[in-house]
A = this chain, B = another copy of it.
Amino acid sequence: MNSKALPRRSKLSDVAKAAGVSPATVSRVLNHPDIVRPDLQAKVRRAIAELGYAPDAMARALSLGRSNTIGAIIPTLGMTIFANGTVALQKRLREYNYTLLIANAEYDPERELEEIKVLLERGVDGLVLVGDRMSAEALALARQYQVPLVTTYVSESQFSVPAIGIDNAEAMHQVLQMLLDLGHREFGVITVYPAHNDRQQARRQGVFAAFEAADIPLAAHRIAEVPYSVAHGRTAFKRLITADPAITAVICSSDAFAIGALAECKYLGLSVPRDISITGYDDVDISMHTDPPLTTVNVPAAVIGRLAADHLVATLNGRPPPLTTKLPAQIIVRGSTAAPRSARKS
C-alpha cells in the first residue's frame, strides 16, 4: 500500500535497525526501561530522537487489548457546568496517563447511543455518562464490551450503574427551606421540559418533594416547564407572574431560566428581590454579575469530573470504589432573594 516513497513515518523496527538492536528491545525501552541495559537504552533513545519516532497508539492498543482511553458522552458542550466537569475529568485522566475522548450527544438519546457505539468500537477502556437515563441498550453494549461505566451529576442511577453527583433533591429542599425561612409562601417554579433530561428531572422532583414535605400546595399554573434557554426562562416567568401576581418567589431549575426571569423582571418593572425573589441552579460564572447577583446552587462539577476519573481508573485496576458518591450541593446566597413584601410589612 505504501506505493509512495515520501518521508515515511518511522516505526519501531526502523528504530531497532538504526540502533542496531531487536524490535523487542526498543519496545522494552519504551515500556519496561528498568530491564534493559543502560548503554543499549541510550542508543535506542538516540535513535528514537533522530528518527522522530512516535509509537502507533492503535497498533499498541490492538496488541495490548486496551487503549488507555476513556470516553465521555456529554449532553451538550454549551453548558459551562459540563464544560468544567469535562475539563477536570480530562486533566485527572491525563495524570493517570489516559486520554479522554469527548463525544457530544446534544441531548438526543439516539445520538447518545450512537456515540457510545462509536466510542466502544474505537476501543475505549471506560465510559463516563451524564445522568440517569441511560438506555438499556447502552448498558447491554457496555456489558458486552466489558467496559466499566460511571455516570455523573446524579447521585443514584436506576440500573445500579456507579454514580457520582450531588443530591439534586436535597439541594432543592434546601433552596425551598431557605425561602420558607425568609417568609415566602407563594411560589412559582420554572423547570426544563422533562424530555431526556433526568438531572433536571431530579431537580424538578426534588422541588415537588420538598413542597410536599413542607406541606405547601403548588398549583399547576404555578409550574412552567420549558426548553432550556434564557429566552424560554424569560417567557416562562412572564407567564407565571401574569397568571398569578401573588407569587413572591420563583425557583428556577437552572441559572439560564433565572437570568431570563431577571431580564423579564426588569422589563416588567419588577424589582428583585423587593417585589420578587428568584433562585437559579448551577452557579454559572455570570450569575455573580447579574443585577442583582443571583442566589443559586453550586454544583461541584470539577470535583465530579475528578472523581469520575478516579473511579474509572480504580475500577480498571481491579479496585472498584463505592457504588455511589454523593457530593453536597452548596447554596450560594446572593442578592436575588430576600423576605417577601408581606413579611416585611407585617
Known A56-B123, A104-B86; contact A231-B289, beta-carbon cutoff 8 A: yes
How near does chain B come to A106, taking the closest CB pair, in angstroms?
7
B-side contacts of A286, CB under 8 Å = 230, 259, 286
Q: Which of A22-72 contact B (CB under 8 A)?
A: 52, 54-59, 61-62, 65, 67, 69
Most buried by B among A7, A57, A77, A234: A77
Copy number of this protein in the oligomer?
2
B86:A56 contact, CB within 8 angstroms: no
Which residue in B1, B54, B90, B103 is a CB contact (below 8 Å) of A120?
Answer: B54
A144:B52 contact, CB within 8 angstroms: yes
B285:A56 contact, CB within 8 angstroms: no
A9:B121 contact, CB within 8 angstroms: no
**A266 CB-CB contact with B under 8 Å:** yes
Mark interface residues in A228-251 (1 if CB within 8 Å of B CB, else 0): 011100100000000000000000
**A165 CB-CB contact with B under 8 Å:** no
Which residue in B86, B87, B230 is a CB contact (below 8 Å) of A285?
Answer: B230
Which residue in B9, B90, B101, B263 is a CB contact (below 8 Å) of A144?
Answer: B9
Which residue in B54, B84, B289 is a CB contact (below 8 Å) of A117?
Answer: B54
B-side contacts of A62, CB under 8 Å = 56, 58-59, 62
* Interface size range on A against B: 35 or more
Q: Which of A260-290 contact B (CB under 8 A)?
A: 260, 263, 266, 285-286, 288-290
A289 to B144 CA separation, bound complex (whole angstroms): 47
**A214 CB-CB contact with B under 8 Å:** no
**A122 CB-CB contact with B under 8 Å:** yes
How near does chain B come to A305, taking the closest CB pair, in angstroms?
11
A58:B123 contact, CB within 8 angstroms: yes
A62 to B60 CA separation, bound complex (whole angstroms): 10
Q: 9 additional contacts, CB 8 Å, given A57-B121, A62-B62, A99-B122?
A: A6-B143, A54-B117, A54-B120, A57-B123, A78-B83, A230-B286, A259-B286, A263-B290, A291-B291
